[in-house]
């Protein structure tokens, strides 16, 4: 992660986080439409554009955007102001349109925008803001659809096809992807159909290693004309459009086998014979994964059905996770005192400044980085330009960023990211838990972003209190900052022996510091690398501490989380393949305990 993630100039997400945002990768560019422009600026000759400065990329981009139906003069102006960033150019064009229609700020498009008093637009304040989106499971459980914040632009009187294109780009899709989807699916296709097509193309590309050999001939993409390569690629994607749903589907309400506020009277589940008995095991990872991941996890963990839970039922922040375990599910109970369940309960001082048009009462998934001071200052400047409530287009831009970065209101027109101790509250850790390792503020955010939500996990583990009234031996794999240990401690379960396996020294130091500060009387034994925890070491440990009662952990989600732009390779990814190490160690312990 960028060490300056919380600094003035950084608004980039660390995509190794347990983030739940899905951002579609850039697709291959389609052939741009024909453009005829002002000869003093851009000239098209035989379909190949050239500019007075000889910048062919600049001209090609202008051709493509003008071909979408935007006025040529505004396209050139937007490119001049925003460079070659297609998303910023489209946002600029939309902003010009919004301001032209707005009674509060009229733009004269016949004049030079840069020389007018009206040239200062909301885009100047939020030009470095990314679009935001989140996954949400729809009713009917047949698929996962995107609930997008599509409202950062007002498409008003634009033609229908332009509206669709702009909505898709505002949802985070590349303009090339959107254009291809619209061409393939036809003019009558709905936004849902178009997003499904783009997703299918993306999944097909990501899962290329699982496609038939016919589809993956080496020369299919490495040889020949680039247009042919693109055509073949997208034909292949189209043929994969009917990708099968996962056999394990996420429920519309992610409450697993019940949460404190919604506990069914009786739920019965039958565990496979091989999964019954000690040791208890508990495995966690992000709920929204590439196709087939949870099938694989379930298959390796003795065909146990996953329990999908969103931590918004336990805290003021969402955290969609899947858990595979063989714990009893009856007679669970929550941690007391109950945690705050809304933003204002968690941070009451924010209520004074919270605008009526910000309807949030929950925060989104905690990330490993925060929005920059530069971003919050731009939001403040944008809002200060209006005496009362800002216009709808401004509100939408601001809310987009507040949702994306979990910004809260701390003053008039002023938002700020959460402090590390505030994130600790949301995740159920004691205040200053992550200061114990003597680490930087940036490292604290990273450690917290990859941790358990303690209240959620404690609810599942609460059934162990009566079973292990004299204490428990725990093998904690991928321990992180000790979410499982904190949960057991807060439940009043004595930690006799904890063998912690965690690669990060920062996280090991945090857990060790907590262990000492809470005066634990048991033994904490730590290892740094699960891949070096072999049978011989496990036998020595078990001969020393006895059997393990609980094996708990969540392997890295780097290649599973929707926010990973570049290497969402599922369980075959470099980091997320460590799931198989969890299974290996679990099987070794079960075998030794069964002897």
Active site amino acids? 557
Residue 427 phi/psi, 5° resolution?
-95, 0
**Omega before 279 cis (within 30°)?**
yes
| Whether 236 contacts 286, CB under 8 Å | no
Residue 309 phi/psi, 5° resolution?
-135, 140
- Rg of the chain (C-alpha set): 26
Crossing angle of helices 392-405 and 86-101, rounded to 10°:
140
Give the count of alpha carbons within 13 A of 544, CB side only.
Answer: 13
- Sign of the alpha-carbon torsion through 211, 217, 221, 222: positive
Strand 320-325 and strand 307-310: pairing? antiparallel
DSSP 3-state of 407: coil
As given in the structure block, the two tokens for residue 555 are 């392997």
**CB under 8 Å, gap of 24 or more: what pairs does 525-528 form?**
525/497, 525/498, 525/499, 525/500, 526/479, 526/499, 526/500, 526/501, 526/502, 527/499, 527/500, 527/501, 527/502, 528/501, 528/502, 528/503
- Sign of the alpha-carbon torsion through 195, 196, 197, 202: positive
- Sign of the alpha-carbon torsion through 357, 362, 364, 368: positive
| Whether 20 contacts 370, CB under 8 Å | no
Question: In whole angstroms, what is the distance from residue 398 CA to residue 344 CA?
Answer: 19
| Whether 545 contacts 593, CB under 8 Å | no
Q: Is 265 exposed, middle or buried (0-12, 13-18, 19+ CB in 10 A)?
A: exposed
- Angstrom distances, CA of residue 345 to CA of 138, 350, 485, 569: 28, 10, 26, 39
Q: List Cβ neighbours of 526 (8 Å cut-off, separation of 6 or more).
A: 479, 499, 500, 501, 502, 508, 511, 512
Nearest 10 degrees: CA dihedral of 574, 580, 585, 589?
A: 180
Nearest to 518 by CA among 439, 588, 436: 436
Q: Is 117 exposed, middle or buried (0-12, 13-18, 19+ CB in 10 A)?
A: exposed
For residue 340, how many other CB atoms are within 10 A of its CB? 15
Q: List Cβ neighbours of 58 (8 Å cut-off, separation of 6 or more).
A: 42, 51, 79, 84
Q: E strands of 315-455, at which residues?
A: 320-325, 408-411, 414-416
């Amino acid at each position: 992660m960028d060490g300056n993630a919380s600094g003035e100039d950084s608004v980039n997400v660390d995509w190794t986080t347990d983030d739940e945002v899905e951002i579609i990768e850039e697709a291959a560019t389609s052939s741009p439409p024909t453009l005829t422009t002002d000869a003093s600026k851009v000239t098209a000759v035989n379909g190949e554009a050239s500019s007075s400065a000889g910048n062919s990329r600049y001209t090609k981009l202008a051709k493509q955007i003008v071909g979408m139906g935007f006025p040529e003069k505004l396209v050139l102006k937007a490119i001049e102001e925003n460079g070659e960033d297609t998303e910023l150019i489209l946002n600029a064009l939309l902003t010009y349109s919004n301001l032209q229609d707005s009674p509060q700020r009229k733009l004269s498009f016949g004049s030079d925008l840069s020389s007018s008093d009206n040239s200062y637009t909301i885009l100047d304040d939020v030009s470095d803001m990314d679009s935001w989106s989140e996954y949400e499971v729809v009713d009917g459980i047949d698929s996962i659809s995107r609930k997008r914040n599509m409202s950062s632009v007002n498409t008003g009187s634009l033609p229908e096809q332009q509206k669709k294109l702009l909505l898709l780009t505002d949802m985070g899709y590349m303009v090339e992807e959107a254009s291809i989807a619209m061409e393939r699916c036809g003019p009558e296709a709905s936004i849902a159909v178009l997003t499904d097509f783009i997703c299918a193309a993306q999944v097909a590309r990501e899962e290329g290693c699982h496609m038939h050999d016919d589809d993956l001939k080496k020369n299919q993409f490495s040889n020949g004309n680039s247009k042919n390569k693109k055509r073949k690629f997208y034909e292949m994607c189209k043929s994969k459009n009917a990708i099968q749903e996962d056999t394990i589907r996420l429920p519309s309400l992610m409450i697993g086998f019940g949460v404190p506020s919604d506990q069914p009277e009786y739920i019965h589940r039958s565990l496979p014979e091989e999964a019954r008995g000690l040791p208890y095991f508990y495995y966690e990872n992000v709920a929204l994964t590439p196709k087939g991941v949870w099938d694989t996890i379930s298959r390796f963990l003795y065909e146990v059905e996953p329990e999908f839970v969103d931590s918004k039922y336990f805290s003021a922040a969402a955290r969609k996770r899947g858990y595979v375990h063989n714990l009893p599910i009856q007679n669970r109970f929550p941690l007391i005192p109950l945690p705050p369940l809304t933003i204002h309960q968690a941070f009451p001082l924010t209520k004074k400044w919270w605008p009526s048009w910000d309807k949030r009462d929950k925060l989104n998934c905690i990330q490993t980085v925060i929005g920059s001071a530069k971003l919050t200052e731009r939001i403040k400047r944008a809002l200060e330009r209006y005496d009362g409530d800002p216009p709808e287009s401004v509100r939408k831009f601001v809310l987009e960023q507040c949702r994306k970065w979990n910004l809260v209101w701390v003053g008039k027109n002023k938002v700020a990211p959460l402090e590390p101790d505030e994130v600790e509250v949301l995740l159920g850790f004691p205040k200053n838990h992550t200061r114990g390792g003597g680490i930087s503020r940036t490292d604290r955010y990273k450690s917290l972003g990859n941790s358990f939500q303690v209240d959620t996990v404690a609810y599942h583990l609460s059934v162990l209190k009566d079973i292990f009234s004299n204490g428990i031996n725990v093998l904690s794999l991928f321990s992180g900052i000790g979410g499982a240990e904190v949960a057991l401690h807060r439940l009043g379960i004595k930690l006799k022996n904890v063998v912690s396996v965690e690669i990060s020294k920062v996280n090991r130091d945090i857990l060790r510091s907590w262990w000492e500060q809470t005066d634990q009387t048991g033994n904490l034994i730590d290892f740094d690398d699960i891949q070096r925890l072999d049978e011989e070491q496990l036998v020595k440990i078990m001969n020393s501490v006895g059997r393990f009662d609980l094996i708990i952990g969540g392997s890295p989600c780097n290649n599973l989380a929707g926010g990973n732009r570049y290497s969402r390779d599922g369980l075959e990814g470099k980091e997320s393949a460590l799931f198989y190490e969890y299974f290996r160690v679990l099987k070794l312990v079960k075998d030794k305990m069964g002897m």
